[in-house]
Amino acid sequence: MNDGFLGVLRLSLVALQNISFAVLVGALLSDRWVSRSTSRWQASVSGRLLLTFRIASFTALVSSAFAFWIHCALMSESTLGEAGPAVRSMLVETDFGHAWLAVAGVMLVTIILSVVQSRGPIRFKAALGLTLVAAALARSHGGHPIDAGAFSLPVWVDWVHLLAISAWVGLVLVATYVVVPRISRAPAAERANTATFIQSLSDAATFALAILVITGAYSGWRGVNAPEYLLTSVYGRVLLLKLALVGIAAALGGHNRFFGMPQLLPSLREASSEFAARPLKRFAAVLHVESIVLAGVLVTAAVLVSSPLPGTT
């Protein structure tokens, strides 16, 4: 295996970690809204959300571990099998290693808390929320912002940015593939709760997008440092791609909010034995496209984290 292959593999694993972490945030928030009422349908969806949370937590930890191992191999110019000493050195002697170790420890606690419960709804929500917040803060200490110092303003902004983008992407992914496909099977008495879920999803995604724009503008400008680097550096071009994808996803979300939901929510709130399926199908179709675009946003984010800042090389 050459450095090029290992580099691509590491980027893929970082992207997988980003997506898995976003799913964790999305599943936790979604279950909070779904479990507002108690029914057989709610129990079924909550069970799916708990399973999703477990898989995502395990995937996030494993992908992070392999990405870290590859990073150490690349930095030491050794093979994966010979990278053990470099891994130990990185963990003991570097801030990056300390940050990764903190993330791994917190994610291990997250896995334990998720597997000690037998069925949904997800329990220990407050504790799990704290572990995700702590993991995000530790990850922010392993990226570019740490150059400004531990717990500096860039680190805090990056932390909020990571939580915002994880909430937006995670909610859309979980809604697309776990919750919304099961709304059509919800009993009439439960459809008012599904309408509340969709409204909460839209409100939270809109709030997360606003925070994402503010924090992203600060971090992006700080990273690029000069306008000419937007087009002349790899970091700048990837940042522009990320901004374009965010814009497309925001437009899709806006379409659902202002055109899809006004037709969908009234039919759900009627709580009749039958409801119009076409508005739900249109809403789900747009949500599906948005989820794909947002997955691309997290892939570009992985590339940004792994790219040198303009002017530093």
> Which candidate, 199, 303, 308, places its Cα nearest to that of 257?
199
pLDDT per residue as tens digits for the range 124-156: 999 999 999 999 999 999 888 888 888 899 999
Burial bucket for residue 210 (CB in 10 Å: 0-12, 13-18, 19+): exposed
User: What pLDDT shows up at residue 1?
Assistant: 39
Contact yes or no for 83/76 (Cβ under 8 A)? yes
pLDDT per residue as tens digits for the range 174-211: 999 999 999 988 887 788 889 999 999 999 999 999 99
pTM: 0.94
